[in-house]
Chain A
Amino acid sequence: MKLSPDERWNLIDSIANQVVTYGKYRHTLKDAIGELTVKPMAGIPIAIAVLYGFWSVFGSFAGTLCTDGFFVKLFDGYWLPWLQEVFPGKGSWLYSILIDAGGMTNGEFILSNNCFEAFGVLTSGLFVAIGVVLPAIVIFYLMLTLLEDIGYMPRLAVLIDTVLHKIGLHGYAIVPTILSLGCNVPAVTATRILETRKQRFIMMTLLAIFIPCGAQLGIMEEVIPELIGYVLLYLVIGYFIFGFVLNKIVPGKSPEILIDVPPYQKPMIANVRRKLWMRVSSFFKVAVPFVLLGCIIVNVLYLVGFIQWLGDILAPVFVGWFGVPKETAGPLVAAFLRKDLAVAQLSVIEMTQYQMLSAVVLISIYFPCVATFAMMLKEGWKELIGSVAVLAVVVFLYGGIIHLIGKLIGVA
Chain B
Amino acid sequence: MAEKNNLAMICIAILGVVTVAFGLADILVSAGGDGTGLSILEIPGDMFRGGWGGLIVLFAGLFYLSGCKNVAEVHNASKVAMGSVLIWIMAGTDIFAMITESIPGGEDGPWFNSLSGFLGTYAPPYTPAMFLLPFSLVVVYYILKQERTKSTTPP
Residues of chain A having any CB pair with chain B under 8 Å: 24, 26-29, 31-33, 35-36, 42, 45-46, 48-50, 52-53, 55-57, 60-61, 64-65, 68-70, 72-73, 229
Residue ID in chain A nearest B77 by CB atoms? A29
Question: Are B78 and A60 in touch, CB under 8 angstroms?
Answer: no
Question: Are B97 and A36 in touch, CB under 8 angstroms?
Answer: no
For B101, what are the chain A residues with a Cβ–Cβ distance below 8 Å?
Answer: 60, 64-65
Which residue of A32, A35, A48, A72 has the most chain B CB atoms within 10 A of its CB atom? A32
Question: Are B48 and A49 in touch, CB under 8 angstroms?
Answer: no
- CA A29 to CA B59, docked complex, whole Å: 20
- 21 example contacts (A-B, Cβ-Cβ < 8 A) are as follows A26-B155, A29-B81, A33-B81, A36-B79, A42-B63, A42-B79, A42-B82, A46-B82, A48-B52, A48-B59, A49-B89, A52-B56, A53-B92, A56-B93, A60-B93, A60-B99, A60-B100, A65-B101, A69-B100, A70-B111, A73-B111
For B59, what are the chain A residues with a Cβ–Cβ distance below 8 Å?
Answer: 45, 48-49
For B137, what are the chain A residues with a Cβ–Cβ distance below 8 Å?
Answer: none
For A72, what are the chain B residues with a Cβ–Cβ distance below 8 Å?
Answer: 107
Question: Are B82 and A48 in touch, CB under 8 angstroms?
Answer: no
Question: Are B55 and A48 in touch, CB under 8 angstroms?
Answer: yes
- CA A31 to CA B55, docked complex, whole Å: 26
CB-CB contacts below 8 Å: B45-90 with A: 47-49, 52-53, 55-56, 59, 62-63, 74-75, 77-79, 81-82, 85-86, 89-90
A interface majority secondary structure: helix
Question: Are B79 and A52 in touch, CB under 8 angstroms?
Answer: no
Question: Are A46 and B86 in touch, CB under 8 angstroms?
Answer: yes
For A33, what are the chain B residues with a Cβ–Cβ distance below 8 Å?
Answer: 78, 81-82
For B48, what are the chain A residues with a Cβ–Cβ distance below 8 Å?
Answer: 55-56, 229
For A46, what are the chain B residues with a Cβ–Cβ distance below 8 Å?
Answer: 82, 85-86
- CA A69 to CA B89, docked complex, whole Å: 24
For B147, what are the chain A residues with a Cβ–Cβ distance below 8 Å?
Answer: 28-29
Question: Are A32 and B96 in touch, CB under 8 angstroms?
Answer: no
- CA A64 to CA B106, docked complex, whole Å: 10
B interface majority secondary structure: helix
Question: Are A32 and B155 in touch, CB under 8 angstroms?
Answer: no
Check B104 for interface membership: any CB of A closer than 8 A: yes
Question: Are A70 and B104 in touch, CB under 8 angstroms?
Answer: yes
Check B151 for interface membership: any CB of A closer than 8 A: yes
For A35, what are the chain B residues with a Cβ–Cβ distance below 8 Å?
Answer: 78
CB-CB contacts below 8 Å: B3-62 with A: 47-49, 52-53, 55-56, 59, 62
Of the candidates A49, A64, A65, A69, the one whose C-beta lies within 8 Å of that of B56 is: A49
- CA A27 to CA B85, docked complex, whole Å: 20
Question: Are A50 and B107 in touch, CB under 8 angstroms?
Answer: no
Known contacts: A65-B104, A69-B103. The answer to whether A29 contacts B93 by CB under 8 A is no
Check B139 for interface membership: any CB of A closer than 8 A: no
- CA A24 to CA B86, docked complex, whole Å: 32
For A61, what are the chain B residues with a Cβ–Cβ distance below 8 Å?
Answer: 96, 100
Of the candidates B81, B89, B103, the one whose C-beta lies within 8 Å of that of A53 is: B89
Known contacts: A36-B79, A69-B103. The answer to whether A52 contacts B151 by CB under 8 A is no
For A65, what are the chain B residues with a Cβ–Cβ distance below 8 Å?
Answer: 100-101, 103-104
Return B113 CB to nearest CB of chain A, in Å.
9
Return A228 CB to nearest CB of chain B, in Å.
9
For B55, what are the chain A residues with a Cβ–Cβ distance below 8 Å?
Answer: 48
For B82, what are the chain A residues with a Cβ–Cβ distance below 8 Å?
Answer: 33, 36, 42, 46
Interface string of B127-153 (1 = CB under 8 A from A): 000000000000000011001001100
For A55, what are the chain B residues with a Cβ–Cβ distance below 8 Å?
Answer: 48
- CA A31 to CA B78, docked complex, whole Å: 9
- CA A61 to CA B97, docked complex, whole Å: 8
Return A267 CB to nearest CB of chain B, in Å.
16
Residue ID in chain A nearest B101 by CB atoms? A64
Return A266 CB to nearest CB of chain B, in Å.
15
Question: Are B93 and A24 in touch, CB under 8 angstroms?
Answer: no
Return A285 CB to nearest CB of chain B, in Å.
28
- CA A69 to CA B52, docked complex, whole Å: 25
Return A55 CB to nearest CB of chain B, in Å.
8
Question: Are B86 and A32 in touch, CB under 8 angstroms?
Answer: no
Question: Are A48 and B104 in touch, CB under 8 angstroms?
Answer: no
